[in-house]
Structure 1
Amino acid sequence: MTELWEGYIWPGAIIIAQILAIVLPILVAVAYLTYAERKVIGAMQLRRGPNVVGPFGLLQPLADGAKLFLKETVIPTGASRAVFVLAPMLTFILALIGWAVIPFNEGWVLADINVGVLYLFAVSSLGVYGIIMAGWGSNSKYAFLGGMRSSAQMVSYEVSIGLIIISVLLTAGTLNLSAIVEAQREGLWYFIPHFPMFILFFISALAETNRHPFDLPEAEAELVSGYNVEYSSMTFALFFLGEYANMILMSGMVTILFLGGWLAPFEVAPFTWVPGVVWFALKVALCLFVFIWARAAFPRYRYDQLMRLGWKVFLPFSGIWVVLTAGFLLFTDQLPK
């Protein structure tokens, strides 16, 4: 029994505790990101935002969650029930499992694997399947068109995201996310030498997460909310939570790849007194603020403009940047061996 405890039960309990230590704060962050978005956009539009449920409206996310949880789940008669129900679950689960390789601080990572970037890229690519399943499983032409539009958009911008990440990997010489952050300790944060790619990556993250001004899959005017038009109650809530969890995940990727992860802006006091996990959270919060700011400030792109931007601007530019980065590193004899 002692060997069973030490060999299986105790390590399993530790892993479960680590998973809960990551998942629970993310769920709380997702809930209050919706609150922050409504308050920030309200302030930008000279409105109050949520201010009735609880002090300063702080209980509004809990009220919204309770409302969606208690409503009846309506499944359309012609829908494929299994696919219809699995689609939002897949979207939400994929948004959470990406955090397995995200380092919050030095040594604070669930799975410190050497191919962490590939893992994240694979997980983000799988998110397309949840959208397609929702559009097809609903047995609705509007949902299907919304699913096709969203999947085409996500696949288009994943190509440029991959090339942008290659530029960072060439500079760091590793696919390990913790090592990428440590490489930025020895020199500049990568948003300085790769500033054009930093901007392109952030814009691509907006398109990848179907956020404004690229929220065309949720175009209310022509597709009556797109792929999730037939969803209600908790199935709709899972899509909603998955979208915001993906926003936080993409902000975490921006922080690690370009903003130095948990590193302080300056390696001097009082900046070094602040724990690394706090710096990581502040950088993620800054990225999320820009996500919200873009929604309040920009009009929605037309679909042909969106695809032209991805294929005719971002893809050639990011490809050229990979060649320039590799050439510069080879010329200066800094190319990873």
Structure 2
Amino acid sequence: MTDLSLFGHDPWWLVLAKSLAIFVFLMMTLVFAVLAERKIVARMAMRVGPNRVGPKGALQSVADGVKMALKEDIVPTGVDRPVYVLAPILAATPALMAFAVIPMGPAVSILGHRTALQLTDFPVAVLYVLALASIGVYGIVLAGWASRSTYPLLGGLRSTAQVISYEIPMALSFAAVFLVAGTMSTSGIVAAQDGHWYIFVLLPSFVIYLVSMVGETNRAPFDLPEAEGELVGGFHTEYSSLKFAMFMLAEYVNMVTVSALATTLFLGGWHAPWPLSIWAGANSGWLPLLWFVAKVWGFLFVFIWLRGTLPRLRYDQFMNLGWKILIPASLVWVMIVAAVRAARNAGYGIGWIALVIGGAVVGLALLALLVKTLRPTESPEPDAPFDPMAGGFPVPPLPWQKEHSDA
């Protein structure tokens, strides 16, 4: 059983201090993530990026926040006002609450009280995070519905389909971790990775979660609920000032939360990477907090890297990826993990090396399917008759195809 004796005994002032520290950590990470994203994407596009506000543009995020707060809060005529106001709050609050069960470090001493660098934990903590992620989508859906406008409504509907499609493979990737770790407690999962990280034992689960977390947070190339090319601005088209800022806050805090969860489930949490882990002091005291933050920022860089590299997927490609590739692959992989776990429990000498080999096979098959699905289709010959459904999705004819069909 997982040892949860450290939790539930902190004095009220320590609980308040930890809650405030988590909030400050998330807000500061948000400020730096916005600036880092603009700088990194600018460098990838061979541009300068923000360089006017503060030294080399370092205060640009602060200026953006002040600008949003001072802008006029415009409420369109005809909106469902109570739901319209509630939606951004409902999007931002679960994102902040989810971080309560993320272990950021081992037990330390704070003013004579021994406590874990984690607000709380309980036997089903990972399911708590998954439930809050499900609640957060209601903010997007209600924002689109309450705006009483066509494009926000379409963005809200897209977000509903997106979350349903990608929470299933995300939950299945969690199931594989639960089977190997034997617990759903976040601190217990980190403790179980003391000798080996689950990214090596459960590589397909890590890949599936990596794709699902990008789809879950509505980030490029999966930012279809707010695709400006066809939805103007998506679900938050009719929002301005602080209400729009809360949607932006929810997106970036969700990025931090899913990155922290990936760190917890697959990268050993706050444990030091090898070869630093050889030193006994690397996993004690306050130093593990540094390893945790470094891993989270590694995932945040991946988010930014994807945005600056990949074009937005077509909606049918996005749905096919979730339902035809990720979910079947997740089901197959969970059955393999469950079979290995059952064999070990029955006393058969099957080591975790079987999962490494099986994971490599499933991972290669998954990668091949991803490449096949996302690879651009070849253009037809100029003399071929035009078929709008040739690629599985209705598309308008190109000029030469139109002339050919008219002829």
TM-score category of the 2 structures, normalised to the smaller one: over 0.9
Who is 2:192 aligned against? 183
- Which position in structure 2 is the counterpart of 1:7? none
Task: Say whether 1:233 aligns with 2:241.
Answer: yes
Task: Pick one of 230, 252, 260 that aligns with 1:252.
Answer: 260
Question: Who wins on radius of gyration, i.e. which is larger?
Answer: 2
Q: For 1:153, which of 162, 168, 171 is the aligned residue?
A: 162
Structure 1 unaligned blocks of 5 or more: 1-9
- Match 2:312 to one of 296, 300, 304: 300
What amino acid sits opposite 2:151 in the alignment? Answer: Y
Which residue of the partner structure matches residue 105 of structure 1? 105
Partner of 2:74: 74
What does the per-residue CA deviation read over 1:180-217, in whole Å, with 9 as the maximum and x for residues that have no partner? 0110103x200001112211101110000000110111
Separation in 1, partners of 2:265, 2:290? 17
- TM superposition score normalised by structure 1: 0.94
Q: Give the distance between the partners of 2:204 and 2:346, measured in 1 at CA.
A: 21
Partners of 2:46 and 2:202 in 1: how far apart? 36
Give the length in aligned residue pairs. 325
For 1:3, the equivalent position in structure 2 comes to none
Mapped to 2, the partners of 1:133 and 1:324 lie a distance apart of 39
1:165 and 2:174 correspond: yes
Query: Partners in 2 of 1:198 and 1:288 — Cα distance?
Result: 16
Structure 2 CA distance for partners of 1:58 and 1:270, relative to 1, 3 Å: farther
Which fold has the larger relative contact order, with Cα–Cα distance below 8 Å and residues 6 or more apart in sequence? Answer: 1
After TM superposition, the structure 1 = structure 2 runs for residues 1-337 of structure 1, keeping only pairs within 5 Å, are 11-106=11-106, 107-186=116-195, 188-266=196-274, 267-269=277-279, 272=282, 275-333=287-345
Q: Unpaired runs of 5+ in structure 2?
A: 1-9, 107-115, 348-407
Offset from partner CA, 1:114-160 (integer Å, 9 cap, x none): 21111101101111110111001111111101100011101110011
Query: Cα offset for 1:271?
Result: 7.9
Aligned AA for 2:86?
L
Counterpart amino acid of 2:102? I
268 and 61 in structure 1: CA distance in 2 versus 1, 3 angstrom threshold: same
> What TM-score comes out, normalization by structure 2 length?
0.78
The residue type equivalent to 1:317 in the other structure is: A
Partners of 2:194 and 2:183 in 1: CA distance? 14
CA distance in 1, matches of 2:12, 2:117: 18
d(CA) in 2 for partners of 1:171, 1:46: 45
The CA distance in 2 between the partners of 1:334 and 1:43, in whole Å, is: 55
Identity %: 47
Aligned partners of 2:303, 2:56: CA distance in 1, in Å?
A: 23
Which residue identity lines up with residue 154 of structure 2 in the other structure?
A: L
Q: Distance in 1 between matches of 2:319 and 2:251?
A: 21
How far apart, CA to CA, are the structure 2 residues paired with 1:313 and 1:320?
11
Partners of 2:212 and 2:92 lie apart in 1 by 20
For 2:104 and 2:160, locate their aligned partners in 1 and report how far apart those are by CA, in whole Å: 30
Deviates more, 1:250-259 or 1:264-273: 264-273
Q: Deviations over 1:260-291 (max 9, x none)?
A: 00001122239827811100000000000011
Work out the CA distance in 1 between the residues paired with 2:12 and 2:100.
Answer: 15
Measured in 2, the distance between the counterparts of 1:199 and 1:17 equals 36
Cα RMSD, aligned residues only: 1.5
